[in-house]
Amino acid sequence: MKMSQTPERGSKMPTNFTVVKVEDVGDGSNTGAAAGESRPISLDNVFQEERDVDNSQEPESDESHKESTPFINSNNDEGRIYEGKNMALYEEEIDSTPMVASLLSKLANYTNLTQGVREHEEAEDGVRRVAVMVPQMGTFIGVYLPCMQNILGVILFLRLTWIVGTAGILESFAIVSMCCICTLLTAISMSAIATNGVVPAGGSYYMISRSLGPEFGGAVGLCFYLGTTFAGSLYILGTIEILLMYIVPTATVHKDNMRVYGTCCLLLMALVVFVGVKYVNKLALVFLSCVVLSIMATYAGAIKTLIEPPEFSVCLLGNRSLKNEIFPSCAKTEVVKNISVTTDLWKHFCDSEYSNATCDEFFTLNNLTEIPAIPGLLSGVIKDNLWSNYGPANMEIEKKDLPSQSPQIPSNDRNQYFVFSDIATYFTLLVGIYFPSVTGIMAGSNRSGDLRDAQRSIPIGTILAILTSSFLYMTFVVLFGACIEGVVLRDKFGFSVKKTPVIGVLAWPSPWVIVIGSFFSCCGAALQSLTGAPRLLQAIARDGIIPFLQVFGHGKRNGEPTWALLLTVGICEIGILIASLDEVAPILSMFFLMCYLFVNLACAVQTLLRTPNWRPRFKFYHWTLSFLGMSLCLSLMFICSWYYALIAIVIAGCIYKYIEYRGAVKEWGDGIRGLSLNAARYALIRLEEAPLHTKNWRPQVLVLCKLNADLEVKHPRLLSFTSQLKAGKGLTIVCSVLEGTYMTRKEDANLGETKMKVTMAAERTKGFSHVIVSSSLRDGFSILIQSAGLGGMKHNAVLMAWPAGWRQARDSLARRNFIETVRETTEANQALLVAKNIDHFPKNQERLKEGAIDVWWIVHDGGLLMLLPFLLMQHKVWRKCKMRIFTVAQLDDNSIQMKKDLQVFLYHLRLDAEVEVVEMHDSDISAFTYEKTLKMEQRSQMLKEMQLSRTEREREIQSITDVSRGSIKRRKWPVVDSPLNTQSIPEDEAQLIHDRNTASHSVTNEKAAGATPDRVHMTWTKDKLLNERNKHREGMAVKDMFNMKPEWENLNQSNVRRMHTAVKLNEVVVKKSKDSQLVLLNMPGPPKNKKGDENYMEFLEVLMEGLDRVLLVRGGGREVITIYS
């Protein structure tokens, strides 16, 4: 849809659209040649092109945008492209979101390419491009035949007859059924995933990684790569076995023929793949024809047995099968010209050719019997082959229904002429050997880029191929058991039928059809494995999820994965050196089964989660089928080989953890993330069903950070302390507030949050981060305290740094914000932790060699004060510190009994700590306390009354402060009567430390309210003190100017008592805990009357004066520690 003409300026807005024919232009040029091209583009290119156009058209300012729009008279109308003025309502969105018509026209040209399958060509203009052909393959050619070619292979021709003879028809049928059902269920799951959107080339790796995430995708992708690589080893070993056993049996150059010839064959095939994979693709039809002809020859031979069985026969000595390639006739003697002479067989078992020669005792005791190798369908041999014939290694292959006499003294001299089983046989071994014959179901999904309609072809072609191959295998099991003699079936290499493949004996017209067909089939399968495995590794490497595989993402200029091919050849050589097809088969079975297991898991998870994006076109799936397939895969893994299964699981687990720890961060919208979301939602709902018990309480911390001008965390040690406190457990939410409006500071908030995450990673803080924008810091912190967290995962404690510069602030905003935060946390029943000198706290890399964590337990806060040191000491930084608990005894308390009770209490709490009770008796209030109180009230009064500029106000405050400090330094105040270490806090002064949420705090408040000024004593008379002070106050004219009389009687006696408590308690704490690594103190609550807010901060400053690392703790009003188990 496009407008036929742009109207003149000033004309009416058109109201109709005119449909015109437009040509597709590949590169956006106006040349006629370009208009005729149809160039493919990827989805990334589509949207990247939109972004590029947007960036090129982005105006420098609002004014320039207005001038350049076609809705205002401008000279730049022709320079901008719009979808039409009828879309003026969406004018501003056009730059960021394309119109539907333009998007559809670009998506119509989208094609996906197979990874490295097509050769890259040079374009005419010298620029390298990918030459793209429209995918033309349908279901039969693109999916069905490749799957059939991969499924039918070496095991069918070399081991299926032996499996039927050893396991019997019934158990062989069970083996085939289990494996085929496993692959069928996997194919159903794979079809659902493959039809849930476009599947680029990459097959199972792409499907698993995009469904289960990069960790599972990388682990299973590498397992699938190893399975494909060992499959190449299996096919090469099969090729060499056919070559040396049946085609050129005399080509013996070394005792390790399999290893020597296998290595040479591997190098030759790697060279073919390196030269060009297109030659492999051209030979694919030849290899497929060999497989089809071999299968047809086998069926033809089975049908022919109804008319005329083959002439092959088996020679038995007693009931033991003999290797008849070394003698022409199955007899001890024969008549030649009416003369009885010994045969070649006689010469092998006797010491001479004469009839009186000494012969092997078993040869003498038993007769020779010749039976047909292929009795035929109507012979009834199927009854003998129904049951299994397992046995140990090196056991003679015997026909049980024939008579046989064993010698009294067994002789091993002539055993080389009998047919022996080369390995011990049992059911689980046969399962592992057979399973590779049903792999190859991913061939169709690997070619999804070449299919005309991948979402239709992959399910139909793959499932039909599995059903067809399953039918073939099951019919072959029955035909082999019904046509071939049991001793021949158990003869793995065909020694008893003149060293001919057993399936070749059945085939018509000649065994060479099977020999040649199986040889080329194995060659083709090996070449395809060596072609597909490097590309799979290259796809994993290019995804960047495994850092050490990055080098294998590179290759030749045409995209061929050279380095990946070299690694594949190296791993494939390991399988060649094993030199046994029967030992390599279980290895690749493990890796393929693990891959199929995760395909089923991916489908089951996506189905159960019901994510909105899960809309597969293939509807014949169910999560129960996927779980059944997954269970069957896991069972088959341990049935085949439990130790190989464990090794494969360990390898996948190590790769998973490595990707999780070191891999690149990829967001592919995988199902595991959806599973995590569902699990988190379920857990959050369950958490709210019942209140949290005290035994499960742990600090869920909301960390209130400040950002500097560069939007970086101002105090990173706050995050370090959080990680030390949490030790990676529980909830941590790191938040900050920016002043302004969200519309104007959105980018700053995003940038701040990004830098906050970087700091959290550097400080090893595990948790969530969030930066909000609010009109004021106070409102922002209030919002965070109220609403941070979700459901049962809400914070119960707030951690923040002490506002060290509140005295120097130009206004009281910092002080008010802090006090209101304290009030709101208390009201919300949340604990509050305030760290003083947070920048002096240890880093996570530091290790404190010694020292103590001192707890000053003044009032009961629910046990948080005692729990915090225990949590800190779980971290390596504080592990070597010891815990000391100090409590205060008042005048009427029994300090000795208090200490005993506290020790018993700590014993029941299972806490190791030293206990000390500090006695502080009533004492007179010193003049120093009055001086502190006076200075505090002067500052508060001055800030209220002085309406000066910022500079003047700070200068006046500083002058008063300096004079007050000078007066203290010049005068040595008398010491109070009672010694320092015997002083205690009067009950009246307990108002300093109170908590509105506990009963004990309420009692303290009531006592403080009933206190009288009579308890306040002065060691100086009032007149003497006033005279002494006035001697040094002549220079304080500014106080006279504001009429601020430093009269003792004007002081608020409540403030005096509180200051006295702060001073005395600080003296004791400094004396006892000055050298401690950390001091934890009960944090006094702010006064209920907000008029005292200006003095609250001063009390706290005095309380913490002289201490380095201090953590003020205010409980949340509930018990957080218990003595019960």
Calpha distance 840→684 (Å, rounded): 37
Q: What is the reported pLDDT for 463?
A: 94
Phi, psi (degrees; rounded to nearest 5) at 804: -65, -30
- Tell me, what's the pLDDT at 199? 64
Per-residue pLDDT at 518 exceeds 60: yes
1123 pLDDT higher than 90 = no
**For residue 359, which phi and psi values (nearest 5 degrees)?**
-115, 165
pLDDT tier for residue 92 given thresholds of 50, 70 and 90 = low
Residue 985: pLDDT over 50: no
Flag whether pLDDT at 659 surpasses 70: yes
Residue 76 has pLDDT above 90, yes or no: no
Confidence of residue 931 (pLDDT cuts 50, 70, 90): low
How many Å separate Cα 642 from the centre of its chain? 26
**Of 557-566, 772-781, 1012-1021, highest mean pLDDT:** 772-781
pLDDT in tens, 380-392: 899 999 999 999 9
Task: Give whichever of 70-84, 330-344, 465-479 has the largest mean pLDDT.
Answer: 465-479
More confident residue, 1003 or 433: 433
Residue 933: the pLDDT is: 62
For the sheet containing 368-372, what is the strand order?
Answer: 320-321, 313-317, 368-372
Phi-psi region of 863 (alpha: psi -120 to 50; beta: other; left: phi over 0): left
pLDDT at site 577: 93
Residue 357 banded pLDDT, cuts 50, 70, 90: confident
pLDDT (0 to 100) of residue 234 = 94
| pLDDT average, residue stretch 1010-1036 | 44
* Proportion of the chain above pLDDT 90, given as a percent: 28
Q: What is the predicted pLDDT for the residue at 943?
A: 57
* 140-196 pLDDT tens trace: 888 888 888 888 888 999 999 999 999 999 999 999 999 999 999 999 998 998 888
Average pLDDT (242-246) is 91
* 3 state DSSP class of 756: helix
pLDDT of residue 93: 52
- Which alpha helices (DSSP H) does 971-1021 contain, by range? 999-1009
pLDDT at 132: 45
Q: 223 Cβ partners below 8 Å, 6+ apart?
A: 591, 594, 595, 648, 651, 652, 655
pLDDT tens digits, one per residue of 437-465:
998 888 777 766 667 887 888 899 999 99
Q: Strand locations in 841-990, DSSP E?
A: 852-857, 882-889, 914-919
What are the pLDDT digits (tens) for 645-657? 999 899 888 888 8
- Percent of the chain with pLDDT strictly greater than 70: 71
**The pLDDT of residue 136:** 61
| pLDDT reported for residue 179 | 95
Q: Work out the average pLDDT over 750-776.
A: 92
Average per-residue pLDDT for the chain: 76
Please tell me the predicted confidence (pLDDT) of residue 921.
Answer: 64
Between 19 and 852, the more confident residue is: 852
Torsional class of 909: left (φ above 0), alpha (ψ -120 to 50), beta (otherwise): alpha
Residue 1019 near residue 976, CB atoms below 8 Å:
yes
pLDDT of amino acid 583: 92
Encoded tokens for 294 = 């071999």
Structure confidence by residue, pLDDT tens digits, 832-859: 999 998 999 998 888 888 889 999 888 8
> What's the pLDDT at 216?
80
Residue 1064 has pLDDT above 70, yes or no: yes
In 273-373, beta strands by DSSP E: 313-317, 320-321, 333-336, 339-342, 368-372
Q: Is the pLDDT of residue 820 over 70?
A: yes
What pLDDT shows up at residue 897? 85
pLDDT at position 1055 is: 72
pLDDT of 279 higher than 80:
no
In terms of Cα–Cα distance, which of 1124, 204, 1030 is closest to 600? 204
Q: Is the pLDDT of residue 1088 over 90?
A: no
Residue 703: its pLDDT value, please?
94
pLDDT value at position 930?
Answer: 56
Residue 497 or residue 353, greater confidence: 497
Q: pLDDT tens digits for 865-877?
A: 888 898 899 888 9
For residues 1048-1075, give the mean pLDDT. 77
Q: Which residue has the higher pLDDT, 13 or 1112?
A: 1112
Instruction: Output 480 or 275, whichever has higher pLDDT.
Output: 480
pLDDT at 387: 92
Residue with tokens 């996906």, as numbered in its chain: 112
Lowest mean pLDDT of 58-72, 89-103, 1087-1101, name the range. Answer: 58-72
pLDDT of residue 166: 95
Q: Tokens 């409590």 sit at which residue?
A: 887
What confidence tens digit (pLDDT) does each residue in 944-972 have?
A: 554 444 555 556 556 655 555 554 444 44
What does the pLDDT read at residue 261?
Answer: 92
pLDDT at 106 over 70: no
Helices (H) then strands (E): counts for the chain: 38, 17
Measured between its terminal Cα atoms, the distance across the chain in Å is 75
Per-residue pLDDT band at 503 (split at 50, 70, 90): very high
- Asked if residue 12 has pLDDT above 90, the reply is no
